[in-house]
Amino acid sequence: MYHDPVLLHQSVEHLVINPDGIYVDCTFGGGGHSKEILNKLSEKGKLFAFDQDLDALENKIEDSRFTLINQNFRFLENSMTMYGYPKVDGILADLGVSSHQFDKLERGFSIRDSAPLDMRMNVLQPLDAKKILNSFEEEQIADILYNYGELREARKMARTIVTKRAEKKIETTADLKNLFSFIPAHKQNKVFAQIFQAIRIEVNQELEALKEMLLQSYNILKPEGRLAVISYHSLEDRLVKRFLKNGMFEGEPARDIFGNFEKSFNLLQTKAIMPDELEIEKNSRARSARMRIGIKVNKAK
């Protein structure tokens, strides 16, 4: 089951300002955002959507204005050029794991119950969570837990994983959770969520794909085109915030002869757009959502 999309009306209302335009939904999922975008488009408008998950293909929208591309959004620029639309009016990305992926226990994304250690958004790729936990070096695992889960005890956890897997292969999500008896009961849900997030990000190369998509989005947006990104944790949000502010992820942007930064985007508003209490009440996943919208600077002006 695909739940209602987060920040549905706010995202589409701010994104679609040209009903005849070309738009991209980078994270199709259940198609909720795409349907709302199509409602805002005229007969001349077009919408392209990306999703690497084969399950999402079952939700394809039958509409002559719509094209669903079964690819990771890191192939955004090449795909749009191949389809004959190298420049677009707006791009939307609702990051992270869909409610459907969490709810489908056999995919291994959820900390609930026990399921195979998978966590692949694209089930055709060879790397899964089981391979990481049973074959990566201790130092690699520690770095994953620290960098992607922001876990202070990453080294201790990695040592535990490597020691225990020598006795018995780690096969399921329950096996993974059972390794960490030293975590106090009142902290377990939060820490397990951080552990699962870290491994999932590594499995799917989520932050690398996000960086590639953001850089490509600037290339294909028309001047004054809009980029709307909904993120669910600080690692994603920091990348999006920095990119929209500086056009890069690290270092300092170039300055002009007057000492001013050359901006790539203007922010629609300086603070992130957040769901209201009513939406959070209806959909608990919305609680951590942050949306930032950038408008590509028209440098010809």
* Residues 86 and 114 grouped into a single domain: no
* Residues 118 and 191 grouped into a single domain: yes
* Residues 198 and 220 grouped into a single domain: no
Is the pLDDT at 238 greater than 90, yes or no? Answer: yes
User: For position 166, which CATH number holds?
Assistant: 1.10.150.170
Per-residue pLDDT, 261: 78
* Residues 193 and 121 grouped into a single domain: yes
Is the pLDDT at 301 greater than 80, yes or no? Answer: no
Lowest mean pLDDT, pick from 5-14, 24-33, 222-231, 276-285: 276-285
Per-residue pLDDT, 30: 93
Backbone angles phi, psi at 50, to 5 degrees: -115, 140
pLDDT tens-digit readout, 83-118: 999 999 999 999 988 878 888 889 999 998 899 999
Average confidence (pLDDT) over 257-264? 80
Per-residue pLDDT, 270: 92
Per-residue pLDDT, 256: 72
Binding residues: 31-33, 51, 73, 94, 101
Q: Considering the domain boundaries, does residue 260 fall inside one?
A: yes
Question: At what angle are helices 188-204 and 206-220 packed, to 10 degrees?
Answer: 60
- For residue 39, the one-letter residue type is N
Average confidence (pLDDT) over 261-266? 88
Q: Considering the domain boundaries, does residue 3 fall inside one?
A: no
Query: Quick one: CA torsion of 80, 85, 90, 95, rounded to 10 degrees?
Result: -10
* Residues 211 and 89 grouped into a single domain: yes
Per-residue pLDDT, 58: 93
- Cα separation, 52 vs 241, in Å, equals 25
User: For position 27, which CATH number holds?
Assistant: 3.40.50.150
Mean pLDDT score of the chain: 94
Angle at 209 between CA 206 and CA 210, to 5 degrees: 85
Binding residues for S-adenosyl-L-methionine: 31-33, 51, 73, 94, 101
Q: Contact at 8 Å (CB) between 295 and 15? A: no
pLDDT tens-digit readout, 165-198: 999 999 999 999 999 988 999 999 999 999 999 9
Give the pLDDT band of residue 53 (cuts 50, 70, 90).
very high
Per-residue pLDDT, 1: 57
Angle at 232 between CA 229 and CA 234, to 5 degrees: 95
Which of 140, 170, 204 is the last residue in one of the domains? 204
Full domain range(s) for residue 128: 110-204
* Residues 94 and 55 grouped into a single domain: yes
Q: Pick 142 or 249 by higher pLDDT.
A: 142
3-state secondary structure of 67: strand
* Residues 115 and 189 grouped into a single domain: yes
Q: Considering the domain boundaries, does residue 105 fall inside one?
A: no
Distances 265 to 34, 187, 229, 244 between C-alpha atoms, Å: 24, 40, 13, 6
Give the pLDDT band of residue 259 (cuts 50, 70, 90).
confident
Q: Contact at 8 Å (CB) between 63 and 38? A: yes
Is the pLDDT at 3 greater than 80, yes or no? Answer: no
* Residues 88 and 218 grouped into a single domain: yes
pLDDT tens-digit readout, 110-169: 998 899 999 999 999 999 999 999 999 999 999 999 999 999 999 999 999 999 999 999
